[in-house]
């Protein structure tokens, strides 16, 4: 991600520097001269899927701020897990009719789709 700004000034006042004014969790850094945003902490969509940041651009005299929302896309990084570590079911040996024997349940923390 690269943050940019435009300024009608000329000379020294035309150059902006960038910083975060809000950066909850400090998972991101911004290069003050280029506006390049980099990841500096671990990201896990299952823990937090969106980061709401605020970026400031400052020239020699003026300051502007804008919100920056970063949405984390899911990766298939979690294995399915069974609700129980052991399942056991009993049913009659000569059962001829369809009958419910039991249910095994597993869940995956990764996002569906």
Q: Give the CATH number for residue 22.
A: 2.60.40.60
Residue 88 is assigned to a structural domain of this protein:
no
- Does residue 5 form part of some domain? no
Does residue 105 lie within any of the structural domains?
no
20 occurs within a structural domain: yes
Q: For residue 97, what is the DSSP state? A: S
52: domain range? Answer: 11-71
Band (109; pLDDT cuts 50, 70, 90): confident
Q: How far apart (Å, rounded) are the C-alpha atoms in residues 96 and 94?
A: 6
Q: Give the separation between CA 74 and CA 46, rounded to whole angstroms.
A: 8
pLDDT digits (tens, 9 = 90+) for 19-70: 999 999 999 999 999 999 999 999 988 889 999 999 999 987 889 999 999 9
pLDDT digits (tens, 9 = 90+) for 62-103: 899 999 999 998 778 888 999 999 999 988 888 888 888 899
Are 55 and 68 spatial neighbours (Cβ–Cβ below 8 Å)? yes
Number of Cβ atoms within 10 Å of the Cβ of 75: 12
Tally of domains in the chain: 1
Q: What is the pLDDT of residue 81?
A: 93
- Token pair for 93: 């040996």
Residue 27 belongs to some domain of the structure: yes
| Whether the model pTM is above 0.95 | no
């Amino acid at each position: 991600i690269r943050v940019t700004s435009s300024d009608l000034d000329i000379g020294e006042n035309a150059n902006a520097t960038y910083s975060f004014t809000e950066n909850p969790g400090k998972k991101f850094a911004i290069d003050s001269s280029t506006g390049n945003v980099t990841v500096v902490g671990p990201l896990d969509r299952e823990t937090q899927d969106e980061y709401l940041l605020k970026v400031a651009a400052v020239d020699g005299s003026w300051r502007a701020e804008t919100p920056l929302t970063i949405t984390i896309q899911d990766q298939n990084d979690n294995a399915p897990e069974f609700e129980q570590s052991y399942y056991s079911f009993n049913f009659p040996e000569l059962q001829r009719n369809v009958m419910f024997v039991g249910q095994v349940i597993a869940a995956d923390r990764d996002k569906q789709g």
